[in-house]
Structures are given as structure tokens and as C-alpha cells.
């Protein structure tokens, strides 16, 4: 993939789909339970291990870690540019997405959809959409998956 240029991953200015719509209690319960019980228990365990550590050195990293999945699921976008026809890159992109656990769900000449079923995601959360243009593939999906995808294709 010597003739391919990757753009930087840019965050799309919209909320992740699980934050846009009102979630049901069944979907919200694991997240609320983790925040209400898991994080305080983690903070107490860390404080018990090192009682001389100031509390803000324990609380702030634990809260940041609890919010990390939200940041990794936020939508992002990057482009793969080439001098040749972009359709020649689709096989490499498809192989990289399959190695990440994605499956092609829909394809037409201008748009391809990939989906990775996860038990904690409902609907189409975490899906990756690829827009095919003459010399560019525009990839839109979760930021964490896009970073892994760039690493897999870049190798």
C-alpha cells in the first residue's frame, strides 16, 4: 500500500448513537451499575493499597477510565487517498475489517457498510460506513475502531 495516503482521524460533530436516543432501562442498567458501584469500589481498593496517596490522584484517573469507552465510541472519519482507482483498495480494507471482527452487511458501488455485533451495543452502534469515490475511500465509524483499522492497513 505504498501509493495510499491516510488522512488524520477527525471527530464528527455529533453524539454517538447510544447518547442521541433515549436508552431503555435495560440498556442503561449496566452502565449505571458500573458507575454507581464499580468505580467507587475501585477507588476504595486503590486507596486501601496505598492509603498515603492523595485521594484526587485516585479519583480523577478512575473517572477518566470510566468515561474512556464513551470517547472511543464517538464517531470519527478519515480518508484513504490514492492515485489509482479507489476500488483497488477495497480488498485490503475488507481484509483489515474482517480481521477486526466486522462483517460486510451492505454494498453498492458508492457505499459499503460493515457491522460488528457486540452484546453491549444495540442496533447499528459501532458500524463502519465506507463511501467510495474515484480516488478516495471515506471511512466513518467509532474512533477506536478507525485507529485500529489504520494500523492494520498501514502494516
- In this predicted model, what pLDDT tens digit does every residue of 119-152 receive, in sequence order? 555 555 678 899 999 889 999 988 888 888 888 8
* 155 residues of the chain, pLDDT tens digit each: 557 888 888 887 765 555 555 556 666 677 778 778 888 888 888 889 999 989 888 888 888 887 777 666 678 899 988 888 888 888 888 889 988 889 888 888 889 999 887 655 555 567 889 999 988 999 998 888 888 888 888 76
Identify whether the C-beta of residue 134 lies closer than 8 Å to the C-beta of residue 151: no
Identify whether the C-beta of residue 70 lies closer than 8 Å to the C-beta of residue 144: no
Cα distance between residue 97 and residue 28, in whole Å:
28
Residue 26, all three cell numbers: 435495560
Cα distance between residue 13 and residue 143, in whole Å:
12
Cα distance between residue 143 and residue 77, in whole Å:
8
Cα distance between residue 22 and residue 31, in whole Å:
14
Closest CA to 93 of 5, 154, 9, 2: 154
Could you identify the residue written with the cell 498515603? 52
Q: Per the confidence metrics, is the pTM higher than 0.85?
A: no
Cα distance between residue 75 and residue 143, in whole Å:
6
Residue 67, all three cell numbers: 468515561
Cα distance between residue 115 and residue 95, in whole Å:
14
Amino acid at each position: 500500500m505504498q501509493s495510499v495516503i491516510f488522512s488524520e482521524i477527525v471527530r464528527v460533530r455529533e453524539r454517538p448513537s447510544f447518547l442521541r436516543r433515549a436508552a431503555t432501562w435495560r440498556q442503561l442498567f449496566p452502565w449505571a451499575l458500573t458507575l454507581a458501584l464499580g468505580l467507587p469500589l475501585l477507588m476504595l481498593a486503590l486507596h486501601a493499597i496505598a492509603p498515603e496517596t492523595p485521594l484526587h490522584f485516585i479519583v480523577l484517573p478512575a473517572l477518566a477510565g470510566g468515561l474512556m469507552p464513551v470517547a472511543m465510541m464517538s464517531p470519527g472519519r478519515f480518508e484513504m487517498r490514492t492515485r489509482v482507482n479507489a476500488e483497488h483498495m477495497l480488498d485490503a480494507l475488507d481484509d483489515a475489517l474482517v480481521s477486526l471482527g466486522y462483517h460486510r452487511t451492505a454494498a453498492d458501488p458508492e457505499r459499503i457498510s460493515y457491522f460488528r455485533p457486540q452484546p453491549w451495543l444495540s442496533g447499528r452502534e459501532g458500524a463502519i460506513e465506507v463511501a467510495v469515490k474515484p480516488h478516495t475511500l471515506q471511512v466513518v465509524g467509532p474512533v477506536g475502531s478507525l485507529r485500529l483499522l489504520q494500523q492494520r492497513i498501514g502494516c
